[in-house]
Amino acid sequence: MGKKLKKNRPRFLTLWQIKLPVMGVVSILHRISGLFVFLVMPLLLYLLELSLRSPAGYQQVTALMTSWPFRVGGWLLLALFAHHLFAGIRVLLIDMEWGSALASARRSAWLVMVAVVVVLVAGTLL
């Protein structure tokens, strides 16, 4: 009886009803961005290889890169890559006890978000 009751007990774990602090958001985005950057790597390597194969291949890749779906994809990838890089550096610094206090960890999490926006704006302008 006791075991059966225990097994049927509900748990409150409705993620959208649990408030995530900015550090939590940065952490989850760090994992998601890492996964996407990893998955897209073979495609990028293929495009690099194609562009180096011949002048025709280079032209083909250039044409592809200037098409709007690729531009949007590239923009998104830049955001994910920048986020993964900055969030990763942040975690390394916290591991070295730089900014491991709550207030500074919160500040550095916001800094990661702002840095991604700055990179995106710079990437759009350049």
Name the site residues for other proteins (rule: CB under 8 A). 5-6, 8-13, 17-21, 23-24, 27-28, 31, 91, 94-95, 97, 100-102, 105-106
Residues 6+ apart with CB under 8 A from 7: none
Least Cβ distance, residue 54 to other proteins (angstroms): 44
Q: How far is the CB of 102 from other proteins (least distance, A)?
A: 5
Q: Cβ closer to other proteins: 9 or 69?
A: 9
Residue listed under structure tokens 């890559």: 81
Q: Which helix (H) or strand (E) holds 34?
A: helix 22-53
Closest contact distance (angstroms) between CB of 105 and other proteins is 5
Q: Tell me how far apart the alpha carbons of residues 126 and 123 are, in angstroms, rounded to a whole number.
A: 5
